[in-house]
Structure 1
Amino acid sequence: MTLSIFLIEAAGWIGASLILGAYILLSAGKMQGNSPAYQWMNVIGAAGFILNSGYHGAIPSVAINVLWIAIGGFALWRIYKGVKPV
Structure 2
Amino acid sequence: MVYEVVGWFGAALGLAAYGLAARGRWPATGWRNAVANIVAGSCLLVNGLHHSALPSVGLNVVWTLIGIGTLLRARGLPQRAAGTVVGAPLDADE
Q: In which range does the TM-score fall when normalised by the shorter chain?
A: 0.7 to 0.9
Structure 2 residue aligned with 1:77, among 68, 72, 76?
72
- TM-score normalised to the size of structure 1? 0.85
Tell me, which stretches of 5 or more residues in structure 2 are unaligned? 83-94
More helix by share: 1
Tell me, which stretches of 5 or more residues in structure 1 are unaligned? 1-5
Equivalence for 1:50: 45
Equivalence for 1:27: 22
Structure 2 residue aligned with 1:12, among 7, 12, 18?
7
Asked if 1:60 corresponds to 2:55, the answer is: yes
Identity %: 31
The alignment covers a number of residue pairs equal to 80
Equivalent residue letter for 1:17? A
Equivalence for 1:3: none
Q: Which runs of 4+ in 1 moved over 3 A?
A: none
Equivalent residue letter for 2:65? A
Contact kept in structure 1, 2:30 and 2:70, CA below 8 Å? no
Q: Distance in 2 between matches of 1:33 and 1:27?
A: 8
Equivalence for 1:40: 35
Q: Distance in 1 between matches of 2:21 and 2:70?
A: 15
